[in-house]
Structure 1
Amino acid sequence: MSSDPWGRVDETGTVYVRTADGEKVVGSWQAGTPEEALAYFERKYEGLVVEIGLLERRVKTTDLSAKDAQAAVDHLRQQVDEHHAVGDLAALAVRLDALVAAVDKRREERKVQRAKQHDESRQAKEALVTEAEELAQSEQWRAAGERLRALVDTWKGLPRLDRKSDDELWHRFSHARSAFSKRRKAHFASLDAQREEARKAKEKLVAEAESLSGSTDWGVTAARYRELMAEWKAAGRAQREAEDELWNRFRGAQDVFFAARSGVFAERDAEQSENLKLKEELAVEAEKLLPVTDLKAARAAFRSINERWEAVGHVPRDARPRVEGRMHTVERAIQESEENEWRRTNPEARARAAGLTGQLQAAVDKLRGQIDAARATGNNARADKLAKELEGRQALLDQALKGLEEFGG
């Protein structure tokens, strides 16, 4: 018979292990000596020690799940409880109990962690839903669409909640995305319709612009092109490809017209510049007629100058008032000379002037007599009043005499 502190082998080859409840049969050994039997079951015990040690390290240092850890503990406990090893089985049981406590603690920690993750995930998903519902009302189609796609990626990266909560939040999230997509689709459908209307309107404008490109009615056509441009801007934008093609045709038609007008205007400007030089020479010739000393000769000379002036043609608009003003000055001087001559030689006007002068002279003489009479009788007040009236009549008489002198005395 052989024994050690934790077990023994009797003469029949039965192996026992000592426990707090007494000896327990470990097994039977018939293949060798009792020492070999004990050594075999002691090695089995050492194997259990190693396995428990490994499990302790895994529980402490890895993310081994509580379920897997508990299954490993149960498997080792079964081997310890079945007493198939020789050694301090009670110590192994204590270590397994400690492992169970550690696993339970980890399970609680994981439970708390999962609850925290669940709350964080719920809050995160609720925030995503809230933002998605706000974006569903946005009209920033590109930015909002890109942001919604990013929210979907964020949602996929979050842990799932319980099925009911997750489904409810996802339904709201999905509904917001669908609402935005529906609004965006309706917006662009409306935009496409507007652009199609703009294309049709601009095709009409292009057709008219092209029909006007050969016009030589410069003023009317240029005004119509300005109106067409205003109508073009008011029509809105067509589809990009159509817009570019129509705009090139529209501008091309205008360019043809305005290039032709510019050519004509350039020729006209050159001609008018030459006309200005000629009219300035005629104005100098006319100004030499002043002052008028021989009315008949001045009138004839001015008539000749004016005939040549009318034959010259237009001058540049900005120079017209200046050069024409010089001719008008000469013309007015000749007209004034004619009027003065007419007044001087007009018998009826002379007679009227002489008659008026005589009447005024008689009135003045009469007033002087009345003044003298009033002063002789001592009526100075009447004399002063008549003297003031005399001043007015004398002034009129002086004017009349001056006018009469213009008729030659």
Structure 2
Amino acid sequence: MTSDPWGRVDEQGTVYVRTAEGERVVGSWQAGSPEEALAYFERKYEGLAVEIGLLERRVRTTDLAPKDALTAVEHLRSQVVEAHAVGDLEALGTRLDALTAEIESRREERKVARAKAQEEARTAKDQLVAEAEQLADSTQWREAGDRLRALVDIWKGLPRLDRKSDDELWHRFSHARSAFSKRRKAHFATLDQQRDEARTRKEKLVQEAEALSGSTDWGETAARYRQLMTEWKAAGRAQREAEDELWTRFRGAQDVFFQARSEVFSERDAEQRENQTHKEALLVEAEALLPIADLKTAKAAYRSIGERWEAIGHVPRDARPRLEARLHTVERAIREAEEAEWQRTNPEARARAQGMTGLLQAAVDKLQGEVDRARAAGNSAKAAKLEAELAGRRELLEQAQKSLEEFSG
């Protein structure tokens, strides 16, 4: 009989494996020596060990599903239990028990991970739905549309939830997108209508602008062109192609008119600049009258200057205020001299000034007498009070006397 720690071969060639429960027949061997028999059945054991090792590696290094892994373990376990092999079968069973526990642990980890992933996916989809519903009311058509398309791509990359939850969230998400699309479609339909209306209005403005381009009524036509421009801006924008074509015609008609006006005004400006030179010479003559020494002579000279001024005609608009201001300075000086002369020779004013002077002189004389009597009576307090009043009356009298002197100047 031949044996080793895990099996033996008896004289009849029967091969046994030793287990914790005792010996078990695993086969018979008649073709060779007992050592060859044991070696053969030990190789079968090693084959089982290799299969278990391969399964351990798959479980630890691949994404083998726990269910499939457990099925493979049970398959190997049945092979170990019924194995026609010689070796430490209990050790193989222990390895399979440990692998089973590892698979169960990994399955629990995967379960927790799936639950976490589902919760994260639910949170992410809730956020996507909330953002989509907010964007549904946006009027930023391009930005919101681009963002909604990006949200769809994000949604597709997220794990599915349970059917009910996923369907409910997708329904809200899809509804928000549809609501935005309907609003955007309605907006652009309205915009297209407005652009058609704008095109119709601008065609009429172009027709009028082209009809006015040959006008020589410079002021009224220029004012109308300004009104047309205001109406053009208020009309809104037409479609791009129509807008560009209409604007080219509209602007071209204005250019024709304003070019013609510019040529006419250039000739007019040359004439007006010459007029300006003549009026500046008259101003030198007028300003030589200042200060006014002889009012009668100055008035006569100014009348002559004024007649020649009007006869010269228009000057450039930007020079007009400055020239007229210089002329008005001379005119104002003459008027002020006239007013002064009138005040000096006005008999009614002279009489009023004389009357006021007389009244004030009488009041001063009266107060002076009262002061003298108070002093003579030794009443210093009354005298002081009367002197203060007397000083005020004398000041008024001096002013009245100066005004009276002006009438005799």
Q: Does the alignment reach a TM-score above 0.5?
A: yes
What does residue 241 of structure 2 align with? 241
- 1:188 maps to a residue whose letter is F
Q: Are residue 250 (structure 1) and residue 250 (structure 2) matched? A: yes
Q: TM-score, normalised by structure 1?
A: 0.71
Q: 1:221 aligns to what?
A: 221
Distance 1:11 1:221, change over 3 A: same
Q: Secondary structure at the match of 1:158?
A: coil
- Of stretches 310-319 and 265-274 in structure 1, the one that deviates more from structure 2 is 310-319
Residue 287 (structure 2) pairs with residue 274 (structure 1): no
Aligned equivalents of 1:93 and 1:305: distance in 2? 133
Output the CA distance in 1 between the equivalents of 2:125 and 2:285.
98
Cα distance in 1 for residues equivalent to 2:115 and 2:278: 104
Native 8 Å contact 2:41 2:86 kept in 1: yes
CA RMSD, Structure 1 to Structure 2 (Å): 3.5
Percent identical = 74
Q: Is the 8 A contact 2:282 2:305 kept in 1?
A: no
Q: Structure 2 matches for 1:376-391, cutoff 5 A?
A: none
Find out whether 1:13 has 2:13 as its counterpart: yes
Q: Is the 8 A contact 1:24 1:83 kept in 2?
A: no
The runs of 5 or more residues in structure 2 that have no matched partner are 336-406
Q: 1:264 matched to which residue of 2?
A: 264
- Residues 1:58 and 2:61 aligned together: no
Work out the number of aligned pairs and report it: 332
| Equivalent AA in structure 2 for residue 98 of structure 1 | A
Q: TM-score, with normalisation over the residues of structure 2?
A: 0.71
Kindly tell me: are residues 81 and 283 of structure 1, through their superposed partners in 2, closer, same or farther at Cα, counting changes over 3 Å?
closer
Q: Distance in 2 between matches of 1:282 and 1:161?
A: 98
What is residue 174 of structure 2 aligned with on the other side? 174
TM-superposition CA deviations, 1:327-359 (whole Å, max 9, x none): 989x99xxxxxxxxxxxxxxxxxxxxxxxxxxx
1:126 to partner: Cα distance: 1.1
- Structure 1 residue matching 2:180: 3-state secondary structure: helix
Match in the other structure for 2:186: 186
Match of 1:90 in 2: 90
**Is the contact made by 1:118 and 1:161 (CA closer than 8 Å) also made in structure 2?**
yes
- Select the structure of larger CA radius of gyration: 1
Q: What are the ranges of 5 or more consecutive residues in structure 1 without an aligned counterpart?
A: 333-401, 403-409
Instruction: Summarize deviations over 1:237-280 as a string: whole Å, max 9, x none.
Output: 11222222222221221122112111111111211222344566
C-alpha offsets along residues 67-123 of structure 1, whole Å, 9 cap, x if unaligned? 232122122112101121111111211221111111111111111111111111111
Q: 1:314 and 1:60, CA in 2 relative to 1: closer, same or farther beyond 3 A? A: closer
How far, CA to CA, are the matches of 2:305 and 2:108 in structure 1? 124
Q: Which residue is equivalent to 1:81? A: 81
Instruction: Say whether the 8 Å CA contact 1:198–1:237 is kept in structure 2.
Output: yes
Change (3 A) 1:268 1:15: same
- 1:5-404 alignment to 2 at 5 Å? 5-278=5-278, 312-317=312-317, 318=320, 321=324
AA aligned to 2:182 is K
Q: Which residue of 1 aligns with 2:359?
A: none
In 2, the alpha carbon distance for the partners of 1:20 and 1:121 equals 51
